[in-house]
């Protein structure tokens, strides 16, 4: 049992990332605690530990007296003389050091020492892991997938620590198998039930920022600043950048020669489309850049309601809105304004094939038609050009109502 105990702390010394003074302190503490249980008090014990050799020496110091009142701290002269005949009456009041053999702890005591050591070392490791990653929140981490479950992926770092990548923090098209390499940003480090939980993310805006810092030296060096990032993970992102050096084109630097810098980021993000925009404090210009490549015919800003009205030709409408409304939604997030898009009439042949909403008064309630016209949609095609969510938000209509209107309008063109 003594050999097993010695091997236990020797094993921790070799395998665990714990500094020498901490290990020494833990060992002394658990021995002193066990001695206090056995003798009632451990203040008069010296514990000498040699980690390199794996040796433990415990010395019990008792005062030599004529009559013993406290057996733990006192020893009679008669007993001392039996143990060592070099002592006599002149040694009364002196301390008598006595080795405490490990066998005196008994089998149960040794087991307690071993268990307490393992428990304390585990607690220290947890605290060290938490403190280590608390300082790394916001940094990129590259790890290996250890387990892939439905709701989360367990990632191992280079030291064998377990980190969590929840499903909610994964790009929709992410798919991982055991052994895969995964890159993510550390977004939090917290203690739950005395266990450190380190959470990773691939959907965080911060992840995209850190990828740009890795790929674009000018950003890492501070010559170019990322002012704002907005994302629909796996679909589209907009990154507004600014250069403090007039000689540096921030957009060109981020894209790289023939897209060499941006391509690596796009691949890492599962082909997420990334629009890089020159930052400006001019809201009108920022919105125009954010809605590119659509060409805006007119723009009016309502500062009081934090909204913007944009007039577009019919041919530019789809470009401004984007697939599933992604372009206009990200432009709203980037500018901080609600953007309402209105379609201008034109004289193209396509318009001659359009149908006015008033012609559907026998199939669609008048109040619904008025709500649609109130957002600038006076023809069937102008309604069909907008995403369902956009119509619901701007016209304040229920999803079922909008879907029903879209069905009626589509049937008209199919017929």
Among 5, 16, 15, smallest CA distance to 55 is for 5
What pLDDT score was predicted for residue 41? 87
What pLDDT score was predicted for residue 224? 95
Give the count of beta carbons closer than 10 Å to the beta carbon of residue 46. Answer: 12
Tokens of 104: 């005196």
Angstrom distance (rounded) from CA 237 to CA 327: 9
CA 28 → CA 18, 111, 214, distances in Å?
15, 16, 46
Angstrom distance (rounded) from CA 216 to CA 288: 25
pLDDT higher at 173 or 381: 173
Q: Is the pLDDT score of 110 beyond 50?
A: yes
Give the count of beta carbons closer than 10 Å to the beta carbon of residue 378. Answer: 17
- Residue 87, helix vs strand vs coil: coil
Residue range 323-343: average pLDDT? 88
Give the count of beta carbons closer than 10 Å to the beta carbon of residue 111. Answer: 14
What pLDDT score was predicted for residue 216? 94
- Residue 40, helix vs strand vs coil: coil
pLDDT higher at 389 or 199: 199
Task: For the chain, give every domain's residue range.
Answer: 2-131, 136-203, 205-279
- 2-131 maps to which CATH number? 3.30.1480.10
Yes or no: say if 122 and 130 are a contact pair by the CB < 8 Å rule.
no
Give the count of beta carbons closer than 10 Å to the beta carbon of residue 74. Answer: 16
What pLDDT score was predicted for residue 401? 92
- Domain 136-203 has what CATH class? mainly beta
Q: Is the pLDDT score of 4 beyond 60?
A: no
Output the DSSP codes for 190-204: EEETTEEEEEEESSS
Measured at the alpha carbon of residue 395, what is the angle toward residues 393 and 399, in degrees to the nearest 5?
65
What pLDDT score was predicted for residue 211? 96
Output the DSSP codes for 280-296: -S-HHHHHHHHTTTSPP
What pLDDT score was predicted for residue 350? 46
243-269 per-position pLDDT tens digit: 988 889 999 999 998 889 999 999 999
Provide the 8-state DSSP code for 356.
B
Beta-carbon contacts of 319 under 8 Å, excluding residues fewer than 6 positions away, are: 291, 293, 294, 327
- Residue 73, helix vs strand vs coil: coil
* Architecture, CATH, for domain 205-279: 2-Layer Sandwich (3.30)
Of the CA atoms within 13 Å of residue 8, those in its CB half-sphere come to 21
What pLDDT score was predicted for residue 238? 96
The reported pTM is 0.69
Helix (H) or strand (E) holding 89: none
Angstrom distance (rounded) from CA 403 to CA 386: 12
DSSP E strands in 250-314: the ranges are 273-278, 298-302, 307-313
What pLDDT score was predicted for residue 1? 47
Among 44, 174, 30, 50, smallest CA distance to 98 is for 44
């Amino acid at each position: 049992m003594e050999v097993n105990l010695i091997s236990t702390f020797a094993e921790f010394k070799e395998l665990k990332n714990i500094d020498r003074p901490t290990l020494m302190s833990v060992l002394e503490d658990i021995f002193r605690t066990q001695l206090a249980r056995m003798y009632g008090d451990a203040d008069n014990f010296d514990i000498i530990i040699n980690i390199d050799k794996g040796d433990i020496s415990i010395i019990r110091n008792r005062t030599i007296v004529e009559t013993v009142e406290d057996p733990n701290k006192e020893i009679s002269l008669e007993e001392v003389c039996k143990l060592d005949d070099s002592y006599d009456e002149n040694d009364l009041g002196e301390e008598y050091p006595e080795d405490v053999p490990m066998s005196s702890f008994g089998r149960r005591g040794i087991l307690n020492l071993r268990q307490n050591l393992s428990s304390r070392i585990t607690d220290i490791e947890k605290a060290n892991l938490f403190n280590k990653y608390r300082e790394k929140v916001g940094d990129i981490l590259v790890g290996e997938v250890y387990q892939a479950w439905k709701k989360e992926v367990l990632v191992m770092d280079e030291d064998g620590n377990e980190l969590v990548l929840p499903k909610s923090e994964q790009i929709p098209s992410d798919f991982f198998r055991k052994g895969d390499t995964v890159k993510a940003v550390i977004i939090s480090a917290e203690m739950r039930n005395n266990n450190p939980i380190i959470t990773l993310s691939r959907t965080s805006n911060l992840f995209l920022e850190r990828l740009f810092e890795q790929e674009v030296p000018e950003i890492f060096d501070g010559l170019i600043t990322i002012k704002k990032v907005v994302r629909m993970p796996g679909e589209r992102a907009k990154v507004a950048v600014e250069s403090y050096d007039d000689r540096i084109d921030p957009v060109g630097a981020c894209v790289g020669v023939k897209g060499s810098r941006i391509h690596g980021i796009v691949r890492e993000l599962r082909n997420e489309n990334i629009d890089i925009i020159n930052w400006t404090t001019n809201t009108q210009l920022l919105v125009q850049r954010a809605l590119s490549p659509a060409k805006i015919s007119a723009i009016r800003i309502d500062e009081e309601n934090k909204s913007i009205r944009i007039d577009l030709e019919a041919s530019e409408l789809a470009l401004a809105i984007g697939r599933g409304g992604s372009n206009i939604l990200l432009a709203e997030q980037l500018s901080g304004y609600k953007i309402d898009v209105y379609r201008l009439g034109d004289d193209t042949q396509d318009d001659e094939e359009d149908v006015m909403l008033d012609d559907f008064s026998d199939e669609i309630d008048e109040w619904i038609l008025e709500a649609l016209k109130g957002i600038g949609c006076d023809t069937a095609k102008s309604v069909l050009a907008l995403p369902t969510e956009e119509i619901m938000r701007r016209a304040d209509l229920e999803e079922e109502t909008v879907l029903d209107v879209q069905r009626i309008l589509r049937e008209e063109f199919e017929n």
